[in-house]
Structure formats: C-alpha cells, structure tokens
C-alpha cells in the first residue's frame, strides 16, 4: 500500500515535469528564442521584519510587436504584483497595474526605484545583500521567462551602481 502510494506520487511528479517541459515557458528560456530580454534584475535588501520588497530591471523587447508583462511569481513571496509608484505634490501613490506593463516594440522599459517595480508581498524572509533568488516573469506574447535576482544594498538606486547615492553600512 505504502509502495503503491509512493509510486503514484512519483508518476504525478513525472507528469508535472513533462507538462512543464511542453509549455511555451520552457522554450522562452532557451538561449536566443526569447523575444524579451530582462536585463540586470536586482532587488534592494529589506529592513528587519519587512513583509514587502521590490524588484527592478530593464525589459527590452526585441520584436516588432509590443508585448506586456502581465504577471510574475517567486518562491520568496506569497504574492507578486506589478506596481507603479509615483510621488506627486509630496504624496506617494502606489498602484497595482492590473492590466500589466506594456513593453513597446523594439523598445524598453526600466523598472527602478520611484517608478515601476515588481512587488514582492508576504516575503518569507528578509532579502539580504549578496543573495540571489529566482523570479518568473509572464509576458502576453513571450510567455514565461525565468530570471535570477541579485540583492543589493538597501539604499541602492541602480543595478550597475550598487549602493550609489544611498550606500550606507547599517547595523
């Protein structure tokens, strides 16, 4: 009975693996077949006990048709959403982009502090400097793209300038 149960869960797993391999996601990850490039994905380290974090990167569309980032997911958070942040007349507003984020044909969009970000909600543990974690981005046309996110200092402003203007060693 026990052996039978084990066998059946193994076959379920095998089935899932096969199904996953057949999805467009698997093709999107393979070398030059991807039509969207997710460049330099990074996140800021989070303060103690923080339940949210933000991921930034540049999304470049290499095709002649516009695409749209519609969803994202990651093991590090219970929920991942696409947000736009702005500060107007001293008031910070954050909005979930329920229709996703448009990436123009042959163009690019940069997700950065004070603007667009992929928001991690319900972090399972704080993000610490030097760590990396996986993130899956879902596009309307390009399908799923898996990226590795690099965690930078808490005050970092861009991927290539770790720390930059906000760098500070915190205890």
Partner 1 sequence: MRARRWVLTALAGVTGVAALGLYFAFMVSACPPEQASDIGHFGGPFTLVDDSGAPVSERTLAGKPYAIYFGYTFCPDVCPTTLLDLSRWIKTLGPDADKLNYVFVTVDPERDTAASMHTYLSSFDKHIRGFTGTPEQIAKIAKEYGVYYKKIPTDDGSYVMDHSAIVYLMGADGKFVTFIHYQEDDASAVAKLRSLAEAVPSS
- Contact positions toward partner 1, by CB under 8 A? 44, 46-54, 79, 81, 83, 85, 87, 89-96, 98, 113-114, 117, 119-121, 154-155, 166, 168, 170
**Closer of 104 and 164 to partner 1 (Cβ):** 164
CB of 168 to partner 1, least distance (A): 5
Q: Measured from the CB atom, is 32 or 49 closer to partner 1?
A: 49
For 89: left if phi > 0, alpha if psi spans -120 to 50, otherwise beta; the answer is: left
User: Nearest-CA neighbor of 60 among 37, 79, 41?
Assistant: 37
Q: Compute the radius of gyration of the chain from its Cα atoms.
A: 18
Contact 135, 14 (CB under 8 A): no
Question: Of 35 and 46, which CB lies nearer to partner 1 in the complex structure?
Answer: 46
Q: How far is the CB of 69 from partner 1 (least distance, A)?
A: 15
3-state helix, strand, coil in the chain (%, to 5): 20, 45, 35
Q: Which is nearer to partner 1, 1 or 165 (CB)?
A: 165
Instruction: Provide, rounded to whole angstroms, the least separation between the CB of residue 5 and partner 1.
Output: 34
- Cα–Cα distance measured from residue 69 to residue 97, given in angstroms and rounded to the nearest whole number: 10
Question: What is the nearest approach in angstroms of partner 1 to the Cβ of residue 124?
Answer: 15
């Amino acid at each position: 009975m026990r052996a039978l149960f084990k066998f059946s869960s193994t076959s379920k797993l095998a089935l899932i693996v096969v199904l996953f391999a057949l999805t467009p996601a698997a093709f999107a990850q393979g070398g030059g077949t991807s039509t969207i490039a997710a460049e330099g994905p990074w996140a800021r380290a989070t303060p103690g006990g923080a339940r949210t974090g933000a991921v930034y990167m540049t999304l470049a569309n290499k095709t002649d048709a516009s695409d749209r980032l519609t969803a994202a997911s990651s093991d590090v958070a219970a929920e991942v959403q696409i947000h736009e942040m702005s500060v107007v007349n001293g008031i910070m507003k954050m909005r979930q982009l329920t229709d996703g984020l448009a990436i123009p044909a042959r163009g690019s969009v940069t997700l950065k502090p004070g603007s667009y970000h992929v928001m991690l909600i319900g972090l399972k543990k704080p993000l610490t400097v030097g760590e990396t974690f996986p993130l899956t981005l879902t596009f309307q046309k390009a399908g799923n793209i898996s990226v590795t996110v690099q965690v930078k200092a808490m005050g970092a402003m861009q991927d290539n300038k770790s720390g930059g203007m906000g760098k500070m060693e915190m205890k």
